[in-house]
Structure 1
Amino acid sequence: MAKQPKPSSKKITHADVRMYRMGTGDCFIVKFFTGENKKKDNIFTMMIDCGTWQGAKEQLTKFIAHLKEYVAEDREDNVPTIDLLVVTHEHKDHVYGFDACSDLFVNTVKNSKNFVVNKIWMGWTENDNPAQPGDVLTEKVKQWKDEYGQRKKALNATAQALKERFGSDEQKIEADSKPNGLVAFQYNYADAVNQFADLHFSARAGVYTGDLEGMRVVKKEIANNNITYLHPGQIIDNVVEGLRFYVLGPPTTIEAIKKESGKDGETFSHSHNNSLTDNDAFATAMLNLVEPQSSGSVLPFDDTYIKDEKPEAYTRDNWRSIDHEWLNSAGSLALRMNSATNNLSLALAIEFIDSGRVMLFPGDAEFGSWESWHKDIKWPIKGKDGIKPLTEDLLNRTVFYKVAHHLSHNGTAKRQGVEMMTHPDLTAMATLDYDIISDGWKNTMPNRDLITDLLRRTKGRLVIMNENELMVGQDSGKKSLHEKILESREQLMNSAEKADFNDALTTEDLFLQVKVKA
Structure 2
Amino acid sequence: MSNITTNIRMYKLEELGDCFLVTFSDDSKDYNVMIDCGSYWNRNDSPKKFKRIVKNIQETIGNNASLDLVVATHQHNDHMSGFMHAKNAFTSLGMEQVVLSWLDDETDPEAIAIAEEHGKVMNKLRNIKGIIDKKKGGFAETVKSSLSQLVDERTFKTDNSLTGQATQFLKSVGKQPIKYLSPGDILDLPGYDKDKVRIHILGPPKDSKSLKSKNPRKKESFHTRLHDLSIAIDDIKEVLDTGHADKHFPFNKKYRQYPHKKDKNDKVFSHQSTKTIFKEYIDKKYDWKRIDHDWLSSVNRFALHLNGYTNNTSLVLAFELVESGKVLLFVGDAQAGNWRSWETVPWKDDNKKMNLEEMMGKTVFYKVGHHGSHNATIKPTLDLMTHKDLVAFIPVDKRDPNISSRKIPWKMPAKNLYKELKKKTKGRIARMDEGKIKYSSNNWPRGSFKEHELYVEYRIKE
Q: TM-score range by the shorter chain?
A: 0.7 to 0.9
- 1:253 match: 207
Aligned-residue offset at 1:34? 1.3
After superposition, residues 159-170 of structure 1 pair within 5 angstroms as 159-166=129-136
| Of 445, 456, 459, the match for 1:512 | 456
SS at match of 1:48: strand
Give the 5 Å matches for 1:97-496: 97-106=82-91, 114-128=92-106, 130=107, 138-166=108-136, 171=137, 184=138, 186-197=139-150, 200-201=153-154, 210=159, 212-220=161-169, 223-224=172-173, 226-237=177-188, 239=190, 240-241=192-193, 242-269=196-223, 271-283=225-237, 285-286=239-240, 321-322=291-292, 324-327=294-297, 329-374=298-343, 376-380=344-348, 382-383=350-351, 388-415=353-380, 417-438=381-402, 439=405, 442-467=409-434, 485-487=437-439, 490-491=440-441, 493=442
Change (3 A) 1:141 1:156: same
Q: 1:198 to 1:21 in 2, by over 3 A?
A: farther
What is the CA deviation profile of residues 166-221 of structure 1, one whole-angstrom value per residue up to 9, with x for unaligned ones? 3xxxx4xxxxxxxxxxxx3x14522442354256339xxxxx98363244234246
Larger radius of gyration: 2
How far residue 164 of structure 1 moved from its aligned partner, in angstroms, is 2.0
Conserved 8 A contact 1:80-1:115: yes
Q: How many residues align?
A: 412
Whether the 8 Å contact between 2:158 and 2:167 is mirrored in structure 1 is no
Structure 2: gaps spanning 5 or more residues = 253-289
**More off after superposition, 422-431 vs 187-196:** 187-196
1:199 and 1:403 map into 2 onto residues whose CA distance is 26
Q: Does the 8 Å contact 1:249/1:373 carry over to 2?
A: yes
- C-alpha separation in 2, matches of 1:287 and 1:119: 42
Corresponding residue of 1:25? 17
User: Structure 1 residues 224, 32: CA separation in 2 closer, same or farther (over 3 Å shift)?
Assistant: closer
Paired with 2:319 and 2:46, the residues of 1 have a C-alpha distance of 32
Percent identity reads 27
- Cα 1:455–1:85, aligned 2, differ >3 Å: closer, same or farther? same
The separation in 2 between residues aligned to 1:228 and 1:211, in whole angstroms, is 23
Give the whole-Å Cα distance in 2 for the aligned partners of 1:254 and 1:221.
Answer: 26
Matched, 1:45 2:32: yes
Mapped to 2, the partners of 1:214 and 1:153 lie a distance apart of 17
2:392 and 2:430 in contact (8 A); partners too = yes
C-alpha separation between the residues in 1 aligned to 2:392 and 2:151?
A: 28
Deviation at 1:261, TM superposition (A): 1.8
SS in 1 for 2:399: coil
Which sits farther off after the overlay, 238-247 or 43-52?
Answer: 238-247
Q: CA RMSD in A?
A: 3.0
**Amino acid across the alignment from 1:356:** G
The residue number in structure 1 matching 2:269 is none
Residue 231 of structure 2 aligns to a residue whose secondary structure is: coil
The CA deviation at 1:224 is 4.9
Q: CA deviation at 1:410?
A: 0.7
The one-letter code matched in structure 2 to 1:400 is: F
Maintained 8 Å contact 1:428/1:463:
yes
- Contact 1:267-1:367 within 8 A present in 2 as well: no
TM-score w.r.t. length of structure 2: 0.81
Provide the secondary structure at the position in 2 that maps to 1:118.
Answer: strand
Q: CA deviation at 1:155?
A: 2.7
> How big is the shift at 1:336?
1.4
- CA distance in 2 between counterparts of 1:63 and 1:221 reads 16
- Counterpart code for 1:32: F
Looking at structure 1, the residues matched to 383 and 370 of structure 2 have their Cα atoms a distance apart, in angstroms, of 17
Pair 382,105 (structure 1): closer, same or farther in 2 beyond 3 Å: same
What SS does the aligned partner of 1:164 have? coil
State how far apart, in whole Å, the 1-side matches of 2:189 and 2:65 are.
Answer: 23
Contact 2:158 2:168 in 1 (8 A): no
Q: What is the rounded CA distance, in whole Å, between the counterparts of 2:158 and 2:320 in structure 1?
A: 40
SS across alignment from 1:330: helix
Contact 2:54-2:89 at 8 Å conserved across structures:
no
Per the alignment, residue 7 of structure 2 pairs with: 16
Note the C-alpha offset of 1:43.
Answer: 2.1
Quote how far apart the aligned CAs of 1:230 are: 0.6
Q: Provide the C-alpha distance between the structure 2 equivalents of 1:71 and 1:155, rounded to a whole number of angstroms.
A: 41
DSSP-derived class of the 1:457 partner: helix
- Counterpart of 2:339 in 1: which secondary structure? helix
- Secondary structure in 1 aligned to 2:383? helix
CA 1:88–1:209 in 2, change beyond 3 Å: closer, same or farther? closer
Q: Deviations over 1:63-82 (max 9, x none)?
A: 4334334345444xx23511
Structure 1 residue 286 displacement after superposition: 2.9
Q: Distance in 1 between matches of 2:452 and 2:164?
A: 28
Rounded to whole Å, the distance in 2 between the matches of 1:16 and 1:148 is 38
TM-superposed deviation, 1:102: 2.3
Amino acid at match of 1:86: V
Partners in 1 of 2:145 and 2:224 — Cα distance?
Answer: 19
Structure number with greater CO (CA < 8 Å, separation at least 6) is 2
